[in-house]
Amino acid sequence: MSARTQVTAVLAGAVMGAALAGGALAGPVVDKATEIETQIAAGNIPDAMTAADALTATVWDANTTIGIHAAALVDAPVTMLGIYNPRADDKYQIGAPILIYAEPFGYGFASGGEGLYSFGFMVDLKVMTEAGEVLGELPSVANLDVTSRVQNREFPANLTYTLQGLSPGRYVLETTLRDKNSEKAGSFQNTIEIVEAPAAEQAAPEQAAPEQPAEPSEAQPEASEEKQE
């Protein structure tokens, strides 16, 4: 569900709640919802959109952690929010890269000057067995940074992990995103299975070097004996 879809749901709930309470409710959410309704009724759609964006920001900032809309194993990096296909399975050969796509929300923004905003995360990784035994913790294993001219609330987070030293078996990868512009953090988990490479790849037969054609030998002229009289 996109941030805008969530706002639509919040807006509908706020308007309905205000109607049921006979206008007794008050607060920034109800005020913005009323403003949006007023602008729509007047045909001022751009102003209604601006008010809706302000309502989105109110709901966004109210989140006390970094939320995760989606987190999936993928086969390729994702460039646009929601435009991805989950990986067909969770099996990876030893040492193969593991690509993960996530959709975080609730992060903060910093003003970088010149009309630019920056936002992003430091990434921590914890590797566990399915039983919950921690096998390794890697703080600040990745750094996600975005610079934009708007406070962009669509963040397709792409992560690539290459894990060495894991024997075949099933593991849980717990990723924690630490917001660079607030104290918020959020975690999600993905389960993977490490498998041996196929036998054909483990012991590929050595290819014999092609035989080189023999170079023709140069004929040596035979020495002729002159008969002396």
Please give the mean pLDDT across all residues of the chain: 83
Does residue 208 sit within a domain?
no
Examine the domain organization and report whether 56 and 120 are in the same domain. Answer: no
pLDDT digits (tens, 9 = 90+) for 118-150: 999 999 999 999 999 999 999 999 999 999 999
pTM equals 0.74
pLDDT digits (tens, 9 = 90+) for 190-226: 999 999 988 766 555 555 555 555 555 444 444 444 4
pLDDT of residue 28: 83
What DSSP line would sit under 89-153, residue for residue?
A: --EEETT-EEEEEEEEES---EEEETTEEEEEEEEEEEEEETT--EEEEEEEEEEEEEEESS---
Q: What residues make up the domain containing 22?
A: 3-62
Please tell me the total count of domains within the chain: 2
Examine the domain organization and report whether 42 and 88 are in the same domain. Answer: no
Does residue 174 sit within a domain?
yes
pLDDT over 70 percentage in the chain: 76
pLDDT of residue 199: 72
